[in-house]
């Protein structure tokens, strides 16, 4: 209690210092559960508030963060033909991944939370908790070499126009993290598509290009590794080998179907995640464990997840029967582990704010995303992925789906009277 009293004594005056008070309130409510409950006796006392609900989602992503950080470094050295074994050069790969991921994480939170704090101070209320999840999701859906200034603009765009313009947390109709990504996709397509952006640490993907190392590589980490008598970063030796393209499995699949894709990446590699791609989407076991955690803690809806699998499977089977091109002939079950399907299913489609809330609506919502996502993935010549656009599209109809589900329930019950 003495610690709590001390922290409460530090609380700034709300009228004199609204921004400082907003910052204090955000950190205080993050550290302590609320001690107030509804006065009506029919309600249950529960220690789970919105911040703690969001923290569960952030916890579920941590394996994706760990693997994604290491895979950034692994892909960097694969490009140069060094340390080809997944665990070879472990310290160098992890260090390079941290150097690339941490700035993305910091910029995302400085920009996003900064805007949240300003809006909260202006409105005179506590900081809303929604950005806890959005801020954790955005780095995971970005390529490792995304320019930080573009990232900052995209986060500001998403928070201001896709969230605050609708009234803040709980009022937005589109997933904030996906709006950030879709902004870059349309405004700066060369920085989030093609082969260049998935391999970090090189100015371009061409044979003989040297690694672009900075002080953190050659100064901080090289000094540390030298003291431990470990291999160090050497730009002169780290040059892109002949024949390396940086293409992702999806890009290869679109060009030549499963045959071309598996000529470079095995299905085991695609499943375990040692492939180029967005930072958090590659490791399927990490995503599956996160999804199970969200289902067990009842934070995410299993109905949406299974519905999305059903929609994807049914559409994939139709495309397999049609067989119009090599991409359509890829077995439908392979699509479940290709690209960002599982990540979108576990962490994006299940966003409780932008998804349908009725049980029947969740099934329809999930199936619809699977259907639209597969159509975009297979039929769109410019974008062989699909889930970002599919989720944002179906987000727009989530409330409408719930409306008709409720109307149908009312009609069914009235027919029994």
For residue range 371-400, list pLDDT tens digits in order: 999 999 888 767 778 899 999 999 999 999
**Per mean pLDDT, which range of 121-125, 183-187, 299-303 is the poorest?**
121-125
- Closest alpha carbon to 391 in 414, 415, 366: 366
Question: Distance between CA atoms of 157 and 170, rounded to whole angstroms?
Answer: 18
In the block, residue with structure tokens 């049609």 = 322
**Pure H helices in 328-358:** 341-343
Give the model's confidence band at 328: pLDDT under 50 very low, under 70 low, under 90 confident, else very high: confident
**Mean per-residue pLDDT for 113-123?**
79
Report the percent of the chain where pLDDT is more than 70: 85
What are the residues facing 211 on neighbouring strands? 202
Q: How many CB atoms lie within 10 A of CB 189?
A: 13
Rounded to 5°, angle at Cα 62 from 56 and 65: 145
The interaxial angle of helices 284-296 and 302-322, nearest 10 deg, is: 140
Contact 276, 246 (CB under 8 A): yes
Structure tokens belonging to residue 98: 């941290």
* Element spanning 401, H or E: helix 398-415
The interaxial angle of helices 148-162 and 90-123, nearest 10 deg, is: 30
Contact 365, 354 (CB under 8 A): no
pLDDT at residue 68, rounded to an integer: 96
pTM for this prediction: 0.87
Q: How many CB atoms lie within 10 A of CB 207?
A: 10
pLDDT at residue 10, rounded to an integer: 57
Question: Distance between CA atoms of 383 and 389, rounded to whole angstroms?
Answer: 10
Question: Distance between CA atoms of 215 and 147, rounded to whole angstroms?
Answer: 18
- Closest alpha carbon to 348 in 181, 186, 162, 124: 181
């Amino acid at each position: 209690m003495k610690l709590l009293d001390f922290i409460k004594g530090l609380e700034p005056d709300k009228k004199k210092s609204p921004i400082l008070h907003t910052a204090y309130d955000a950190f205080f409510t993050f550290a302590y559960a609320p001690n107030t409950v509804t006065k009506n006796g029919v309600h249950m006392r529960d220690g789970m508030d919105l911040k703690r609900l969001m923290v569960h989602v952030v916890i579920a992503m941590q394996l994706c963060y760990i693997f994604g950080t290491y895979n950034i470094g692994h892909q960097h050295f694969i490009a140069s033909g060094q340390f080809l074994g997944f665990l070879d050069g472990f310290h160098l790969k992890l260090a390079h991944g941290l150097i690339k991921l941490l700035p993305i994480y910091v910029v995302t939170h400085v920009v996003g939370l900064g805007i949240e704090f300003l809006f909260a101070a202006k409105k005179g209320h506590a900081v809303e908790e929604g950005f806890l999840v959005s801020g954790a999701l955005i780095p995971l859906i970005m390529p490792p070499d995304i320019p930080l200034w573009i990232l900052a603009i995209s986060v500001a765009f998403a928070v201001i126009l896709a969230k605050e313009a609708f009234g803040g947390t709980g009022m937005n109709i589109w997933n904030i993290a996906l709006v950030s990504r879709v902004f870059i996709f349309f405004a700066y397509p060369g920085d989030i598509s093609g082969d260049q952006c998935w391999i970090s640490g090189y100015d371009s993907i061409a044979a003989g290009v040297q690694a672009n190392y900075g002080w953190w590589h050659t100064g901080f980490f090289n000094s540390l590794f030298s003291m431990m008598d470990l291999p160090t970063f050497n730009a002169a030796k780290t040059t892109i080998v002949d024949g390396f393209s940086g293409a992702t499995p999806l890009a290869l699949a679109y060009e030549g179907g499963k045959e071309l894709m598996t000529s470079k990446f095995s299905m085991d590699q695609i499943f375990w995640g040692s492939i180029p791609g967005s930072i958090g989407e590659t490791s399927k076991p990490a995503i599956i464990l996160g999804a199970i955690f969200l289902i067990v803690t009842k934070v995410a809806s299993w109905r949406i997840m299974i519905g999305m699998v059903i929609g994807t499977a049914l559409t994939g089977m139709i495309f397999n029967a049609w067989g119009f091109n090599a991409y359509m002939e890829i077995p439908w079950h392979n699509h479940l582990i290709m690209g960002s399907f599982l990540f979108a299913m576990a962490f994006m489609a299940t966003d409780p704010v932008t998804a349908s809330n009725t049980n029947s609506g969740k099934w329809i919502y999930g199936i619809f995303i699977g259907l639209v996502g597969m159509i975009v993935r297979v039929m769109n010549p410019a974008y062989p992925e699909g889930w970002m656009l599919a989720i944002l599209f179906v987000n727009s109809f989530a409330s409408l789906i719930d409306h008709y589900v409720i109307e149908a329930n009312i009609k069914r019950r009235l027919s029994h009277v």
